[in-house]
Amino acid sequence: MKLTTINNQTRDGQLVVVNRAGNRAVTVPQIAQTMQQALDNWDSVAPQLNTVYQHLNDEGLNDAFDLNLDEVMAPLPRALQFLDGSAYLAHVERVRRARGAEMPPSFLEDPLMYQAVSDGFLAHNQDIEVVSEEYGIDFEAEAAVITSDVPMNVSAEEAGQYIQLVCILNDVSLRNLIPAELAKGFGFLQSKPRTALSPFFVTPDELGEAWQNNKIHLPMRTWLNGEWFGEPNCGVDMQFDFAQLVAHAAKTRPLCAGAIIGSGTIANHDMAKGSTCLAEKRVLEVIEHGKPSTPFMSFGDDVKIEITDGEGHNIFGTIHQKVVKY
pLDDT 10s digits, 166-194: 999 999 999 999 999 989 999 899 999 99
User: Would you say the C-alpha torsion 190, 317, 168, 94 has a positive or negative sign?
Assistant: negative
pLDDT bin (cut points 50, 70, 90) of residue 110 is: very high
> Could you count the other beta carbons within 10 Å of the beta carbon of residue 67?
22
Stretch 14-19: mean pLDDT? 98
Side chain identity, residue 239: Q
User: Would you say the C-alpha torsion 45, 48, 51, 52 has a positive or negative sign?
Assistant: negative
Name the burial class of residue 164, with classes exposed (0-12), middle (13-18) and buried (19+) by CB atoms within 10 angstroms of its CB: buried
Q: Is 15 within 8 Å of 37 (Cβ atoms)?
A: yes
pLDDT bin (cut points 50, 70, 90) of residue 325 is: very high
100 versus 186: which is more confidently predicted?
Answer: 186
Q: pTM of the prediction?
A: 0.96
Cα 233 to Cα 117, 164, 193, 205, 270, distances in angstroms = 26, 22, 26, 19, 10
Can you tell me the distance from the alpha carbon of 220 to that of 104, in angstroms, rounded to the nearest whole number?
Answer: 27
Cα 156 to Cα 18, 119, 151, 161, 214, distances in angstroms = 31, 27, 12, 10, 10
> Looking at the DSSP assignment, which residues form a beta bridge with residue 304?
223, 320
Question: Domains of the chain by range and CATH?
Answer: 2-71 (no CATH), 82-325 (3.90.850.10)
Can you tell me the distance from the alpha carbon of 170 to that of 129, in angstroms, rounded to the nearest whole number?
Answer: 14
Stretch 6-18: mean pLDDT? 98
73 versus 288: which is more confidently predicted?
Answer: 73
Stretch 255-268: mean pLDDT? 97
pLDDT bin (cut points 50, 70, 90) of residue 99 is: low
* Predicted confidence (pLDDT) per residue in 197-234, tens digit: 999 999 999 999 999 999 999 999 999 999 999 999 99
Closest CA to 124 of 139, 109, 137: 139
* Predicted confidence (pLDDT) per residue in 278-289, tens digit: 999 999 898 889
User: Would you say the C-alpha torsion 119, 205, 19, 50 has a positive or negative sign?
Assistant: negative
Cα angle 301, 306, 308 (rounded to 5 degrees) comes to 150
> Could you count the other beta carbons within 10 Å of the beta carbon of residue 291?
8
Alpha-carbon Rg for the chain, nearest whole angstrom, is: 19
* Predicted confidence (pLDDT) per residue in 247-261, tens digit: 999 999 999 999 999
